[in-house]
Amino acid sequence: MFSILDTLKMGAGIAAGLMLYHLYAVSIGYPSAARQARAGYILVAEKTAAEAQAAEMERQRNAAAKAGEEHRKRLAAAEAAEQAAKDTLEIEIQSYELQLSEKNRACAVTAADRQWLLRH
């Protein structure tokens, strides 16, 4: 069917085609290598984005914890100041009552008056 000359021409054509493909692949880079490089780049980019997101979440969590701790400290200081003010007022009331009793005078302050003074 085919002569030897036809077989040689087909072989030469296949060899020339493979040579052209090889030159093309070398000049632009092997497509499979390019696909692998792109796939690797996508994985690296996704990993980098996930790490950045995790770092940001950790930063926000630390900032929230620090803000909560500062709030607790301020609340404790405010409660201590309020207690000190109540204690001071109580001491002043007792001192005033003592001064009145030393002068043989009665204190006309009722429990309701005392509560009003404590609130204001």
User: What is the per-residue pLDDT across 85-106, written as a single tens digit (0 to 9) for each?
Assistant: 999 999 998 888 888 878 877 6
Does pLDDT of 61 surpass 80? yes
H-helix or E-strand spanning residue 73:
helix 31-102
pLDDT of residue 6: 86
| Backbone Cα Rg of the chain | 45
Residue 1's pLDDT band (cuts 50, 70, 90): low
**Whole-number Å distance between alpha carbons of 11 and 5:** 10
Cα maximum dimension of the chain: 144
Q: What 3-state DSSP class applies to 105?
A: coil
Give yes or no for residue 108 having a pLDDT over 80: no
pLDDT of residue 106: 66
pTM, full prediction: 0.46
Q: What is the pLDDT of residues 44-54, one digit of tens each?
A: 889 999 999 99
Give me 76's structure tokens.
């404790």
The burial class, CB within 10 Å (0-12 / 13-18 / 19+), for 100 is middle
pLDDT classification of 21: cutoffs 50, 70, 90:
confident
Residue 22 structural domain: 4-119
Q: Is the pLDDT of residue 14 over 90?
A: yes
At residue 109, the 3 state secondary structure works out as coil
- What is the pLDDT, as a whole number, of residue 67? 97
Split into its structural domains, the chain has a count of 1
